[in-house]
Amino acid sequence: MSLLNIFRGISGEWELGRVLWGTGGGSYVVTPVVLQAIDLYHGAHFDAASFCGGYGGGLAAILAAGGVGISQKDKGVAKAQAIIPSDSEG
């Protein structure tokens, strides 16, 4: 089992929603570090606390909505697979 399996849906295919969800979380971690490094190089001041507070609130809302959407879709797919009999039964 690979860590990349978190980006795959119930059918095993890559899902755009999961990839965007992971990319958003990764960018939230990397962006302040990159901006801090750029500001240190240029001698400016970067306030990471205010950036993470503002950026994080909106990103958390988007990721939460995406997570709910992904879970609801997976539940619907699982329910549909349970209702529809497979070809091997008949």
Using DSSP, state whether 14 is helix, strand or coil.
strand
pLDDT of residue 85: 64
Round to whole Å and give the CA distance between 24 and 20: 6
**pLDDT greater than 80 at residue 76:** yes
Q: What is the mean pLDDT of residues 66-76?
A: 82
Residue in 25, 82, 81 with CA at minimum distance from that of residue 55: 25
Across all residues in the chain, what is the average pLDDT? Answer: 80
**pLDDT greater than 60 at residue 89:** no
Residue in 5, 19, 10, 7 with CA at minimum distance from that of residue 77: 10
The set of residues, in sequence order, having a beta carbon less than 8 Å from that of 28 and lying 6+ positions away, is 52, 55, 56, 59
Give residue 75's pLDDT band: very low, low, confident or very high (50, 70, 90).
confident
pLDDT of residue 88: 58
Domain borders along the chain are 14-81
